[in-house]
Amino acid sequence: MHRSGTAMAWNVFQFCTALRGLGSIMILLVLGVVGVTYYVVVLTNYGPALYDGGLDSLIALAVLILFHCLLVMLLWSYFSVVLTDPGSVPPKWRPSVDEERGEADQLNGSEFSNLTADPPNHRIRFCRKCNQLKPPRCHHCSVCGRCVLKMDHHCVWVVNCVGALNYKYFLLFLFYTFLETSLVTLSLLPHLRALFSDGEIPGTPGTLATTFLAFVLNLAFALSVMMFLIMHIRLVAANTTTIEAYEKKTSPKWRYDLGQKKNFEQVFGMDKRYWFIPAYSEEDIRRMPVLQGLEYPSKPDFDSQEF
């Protein structure tokens, strides 16, 4: 009964296979929002204000510098999520020796094909769709049609799964998106006062319409991304993912919780110089088996549940 209930829950994601057809449409939509925002902030409002002189020029220069810096980091993070493989199961992957228990993997190559069931006393999981063993924290994505290491979710905005190798880039994308959209919302607010004042309205109706559109879009993104970012900060602090948070529900102790500092380093790396850029240091790249979820310092037991 439990297994059929789980299968029914996950079968819902079969309807998401239509998301594959979106492809570059979502990327073009993101770039379209960025383009409208750039036109309004740089070309329509603060670019011309550079020639006004005095305090207005200094404010415009400060806004433009901060806007472009955040935009570069936003796009860098975004395309890092889009273009980075979230993490695939290595070919012929097998669990390592359990050093603490002194036990070795009892399976051999001839037994792999017989692992069609996942009994409660089995510590090794098997994906029937991919026909391969699954490392801990690995889940099958019905949209991508493959198993993803430490899968968090499939994101339609990045047209990719968010997993072990691009989760940091996804969080940085949320972070810089929140900062950028908040900056745009606050910087456009004074320009919208003209719409509700009794004085002469500067600009053409077209520029006012695009300014209002950019303001509404950036305000909506700032509020929604803020809530999403807060949720993921809590997930990182507990060393869990969106899928795992749903699965463990009210579990009092999460087996992969190594403390907030180590949990943070497992996602962002140990080198502080790389924390706010979508890249890893050479030392953290050497630690990739841990980041991918193939090995863990605490050597936790493998999950016995089929996902």
Active site residues: 155
Contact 90, 294 (CB under 8 A): yes
Name the DSSP letter for residue 134. Answer: E
Neighbour count for residue 127 (Cβ, 10 Å): 18
Return the axis-axis angle of helices 260-268 and 205-237, rounded to nearest 10°. Answer: 130
Rounded Cα distance, 173 and 228, in Å:
11
Rounded Cα distance, 65 and 232, in Å:
28
Residue identified by tokens 């409002």 is 45
Rounded Cα distance, 168 and 171, in Å:
5
Output the CA–CA distances (angstroms, integers) from residue 90 to 97, 110, 135, 149, 289, in the order listed: 17, 18, 10, 10, 11
Rounded Cα distance, 160 and 152, in Å:
11
Rounded Cα distance, 35 and 212, in Å:
15
The amino acid present at 71, given as its one-letter code, is L
